[in-house]
A and B are shown apart, each in its own frame.
Chain A
């Protein structure tokens, strides 16, 4: 199985500042045949179901604020949240869909400092 490891486990950022969450896979989740990164990001707010933020490492879902951006390739990926707002408090997960079984990172808890 592909192991997904996120860092940090938790993060406290001031309102208006930038939050950066990292995700590392135990093997590459980028496919040279189509030059795509098989990685998704999710936001899980308390009391709500997980919400898909991004696919292909950097393609935002409809309705997701452009304050959220994704980057990376191969085994190293980053989710960046600019101008942090109170509603961004959540746990964030990465997920690889390069191969089955699909696997998730352990989550990064984002709080307001």
Chain B
């Protein structure tokens, strides 16, 4: 059964770039049947979809974060990554990676998510 595991620094200074990696095991990210997504959850708040990456079609980001987000794939390592620039305390959250199943309606792929990684807490503080 596929498993995902996030890794990266747990502490990032304000104005710097948050960088996380999601390692995928028991399955290949080059499988074109799925998208690969990141979500986050600040303490006491709900889940927020950050964006997704697809092996054949590039990236889509939440407009609320789009100017600061970059996602990439490393198929040789079977990993995908998230970079979030110019972070502030508001970016402190548990970050999750997840596999996105999809259906296309019109021209838009629409995702639900399973499985998820365990999540990693990233704190933005000096």
Chain A positions near chain B (C-beta within 8 angstroms): 31, 33-34, 38, 40, 42, 48-52, 55, 61, 93, 95, 97-107
Q: Which residues of B contact A103 (CB under 8 A)?
A: 49
| Contacting pair A101 B62 (CB below 8 A) | yes
Knowing A49-B96, A93-B47, say if A99 contacts B116 (CB, 8 Å): no
Please name 20 pairs of A and B residues whose Cβ atoms are closer than 8 Å in the assembled complex, sorted by A: A33-B105, A38-B110, A40-B112, A48-B118, A49-B96, A50-B96, A50-B98, A50-B113, A51-B115, A52-B114, A52-B115, A93-B47, A97-B110, A97-B111, A101-B63, A102-B49, A104-B48, A106-B45, A107-B46, A107-B47
The answer to whether A49 touches B110 (Cβ under 8 A) is no
Q: Is the interface of B mostly helix, strand, loop or mixed?
A: strand
Q: Is the CB–CB distance between B117 and A49 below 8 Å? A: yes
**Known contacts A40-B112, A49-B117, A106 near B46 by CB under 8 Å:** yes
B72 lies within 8 A of chain A by Cβ: no
- Cα A48 to Cα B60 in complex, Å, equals 27
Interface of A (DSSP majority class): loop
A97, A101, A107: the one within 8 Å of B112 (CB): A97
CA distance A88 to B3 in the complex (A): 22
* In the bound complex, CA of A38 to CA of B103 (Å): 10
Contact of B115 among A49, A104, A105 (CB under 8 A): A49
- Does B126 touch A at the CB level, under 8 Å? no
User: Among B45, B64, B112, which residue has its beta carbon within 8 angstroms of that of A52?
Assistant: B112
Cβ of B112 and Cβ of A95 under 8 Å apart? yes
Contact with A along B35-64 (1 / 0, CB 8 A): 000010000011111000000000010111
Q: Is the CB of B114 within 8 A of A61?
A: yes
Is there a chain A Cβ closer than 8 Å to B26's Cβ? no
